[in-house]
Structure 1
């Protein structure tokens, strides 16, 4: 446990990095997120049960969780504990390390906010104006990145729910607008306030989540359509007729990848 609490991704998410309880809460949230996205459909319920998440009921001890995990995975309990459980735990450990690596490599970190109890007026001073404008633009950029992330998460949720194509396409268009808006904000912020930062707009907007691969020309086309605070309607109108670009974006989400089972070999469970 102590080693996990030192991971960069856990420290970075903790409300108070110096408080162990805060780090434990951050670890719990991170594990829940990783288990929710466990990419092996057969063993995902077993992995969640093993760590006390549904289908496990609250309060089950480790022995009961192991028995439940073995049952939902279709294995005998002893075989599960000896052969399957170590691989599930190892896979989750790899995901935690990858998460920590992503935090370490992040080009920028979103600013932390604290409650403000009193008004903080900006003095009539050029330096104060510059600092306030910097914070304003930085906040706009991160707001746009988080807005894009919300839509990208919505797409993946709808696809998982096997929603109809029209519903997915509608959200995908919104995601394209949000993503392009975030990219435009990142370009503007870097040019005006952080020209020496060793990060590109594409690296910053990538923190919103996965998107279909675009050529530089396609990314620029989307960004131009969303620049200047364009509304979703204006964005769609600007791209009217760009059916090829729309297909690349939408079909990129809808394309199904081949399953990558954790413990399958030649079509048989080990």
Structure 2
């Protein structure tokens, strides 16, 4: 009601729904009379003509805000504590459901690990301490793993998450880890191809250094993520 998209009826809406101190706790009849007076209408005309318009407008705004919220937000898979091992029935549908949950869990797991690494970078930058460049480079690896997980999900299940209350795609889920420096499509493709969680950070860094444009990509990513030309003063002095 504070953002009612009809300024002429905004006060009347607040009075009608008891959002104003003067009508809070009052009966609907009393609230309607005060709302009609505030909007300059006779009370019966207000009840028959204006009040329905207010209700429609508020319903539309609530529906729009709800849809916008669903578009921007997605919930990770809900987990529950269990007392026994996971057992699946010998059924193809159960296997397919497990495969989908695996892909979804892998995507969210990669997102949370990237989020953790981005927080590490931010903490080191805030403290102006050593390790910023390395932490930023590791964040690039984590980002590559997120890209790979998102690509794997899209390839297997399409552009929209299955069985979700939103229409978010895997790439939107990947972006929920936090801000990361923008990359070109060829750079994202390169990172997706090089990412491999089983081989680890060292293998990724070595292969990226040998790839065309890989070293430059790391340097640009580090500068953007750290927010300045290099690491901490301590690191600069050490390298000098």
Give the equivalent residue in structure 2 for 1:168: 132
Classify 1:228/1:115 alpha carbon distance in 2 versus 1 (closer, same or farther; 3 Å). Answer: closer
Return the structure number with greater relative CO, CA threshold 8 A, min gap 6. Answer: 2
The alignment of Structure 1 onto Structure 2 pairs a total of residues equal to: 156
SS at match of 1:123: coil
Give the equivalent residue in structure 2 for 1:183: 147
RMSD over equivalenced CA pairs, Å: 2.5
Gaps of 5+ in 1: 1-99, 257-270
1:114 aligns with one of 80, 83, 90: 80
Give the equivalent residue in structure 2 for 1:218: 187
Give the equivalent residue in structure 2 for 1:131: 97
Classify 1:187/1:179 alpha carbon distance in 2 versus 1 (closer, same or farther; 3 Å). Answer: same
Q: Deviations 1:161-194 (Å, cap 9, x if unpaired)?
A: 1113xx0111111111111101101110122134
Per the normalisation by structure 1, the TM-score is 0.52
For 2:69 and 2:136, how far apart are their aligned partners in 1? 27
Gaps of 5+ in 2: 1-65, 162-166, 229-240
SS at match of 1:240: helix
Cα pair 2:144 2:192 within 8 Å, conserved: yes
Give the equivalent residue in structure 2 for 1:73: none
Cα pair 1:181 1:229 within 8 Å, conserved: no
SS at match of 1:146: helix
Cα pair 2:145 2:192 within 8 Å, conserved: yes
2:200 aligns with one of 218, 231, 237: 231
